[in-house]
Amino acid sequence: MFFNPYLDDDRPDIIILRAYYSAFIIGVFTKQLYSEVWVLARDFDRGHGYELRAASADDVVSETYYSALALGGDALTVMGVHPERARRMTQPLVASEKANEDQQFEPWRNIEEGIHFSPRYGELFMKLEEHLGHAMRENARRTEDEAPAWTAPTDNP
C-alpha cells in the first residue's frame, strides 16, 4: 500500500510523514523483492542516512551535507576565492566523510533503542573531526599554489 500525501492537505505534518514513509517503504520493498536493483537514497541528516543504510540502500547521498558544502563554496566565491579553488577546498570534506562512513555506521547500529549517542560513537566522531582538520590543512597548502589568479565579479549597475 502506498500513501497518498494529498489526501490530508490541511495537515502538513501528515503530508511530510506520508511522503517520507512512502519513499522509505518503496526503497525497502524494492530491495527485498528485487535484490539486484541498486537503490540510491537521499537522507536529510546523519541518523536518517544510517536508517537508510540499515534498510539496505546501496548508496545514500546526504542532502543537507552536500547543500551545505555547495553553499560554503558559493560563499567563498563571493568573497573572492576562485570557483575552482572553492571546489577543491570542499574535496577533503567529501573524501573524509566517505572514508569514515563505515566506521561511524557500525557503532550506530549497536546503539540501544531510544539512545541517540554512545561513547564509542562520540570517540569515532572526534577522530573524524581530527582527520578532517588534517585533510583541510594539507589541502590549504596544496591549493594555495594551484589556484589561478582571479577577481570576483562585482555588482556595479
> Helix H segments across 79-118?
83-109
Beta strands in 4-125 (DSSP E): 40-43, 59-62
pTM of the predicted model over 0.85: no
pLDDT for position 75: 92
pLDDT for position 118: 63
pLDDT for position 3: 45
Phi, psi of 79 (to 5 degrees): -80, 0
Q: How far apart are alpha carbons 3 and 129 in whole angstroms?
A: 40
Residue 5 grid cell: 500525501
- Mean pLDDT in order along the chain per 10 residues (157 residues): 49 54 67 80 81 83 85 90 85 81 75 64 76 79 62 62
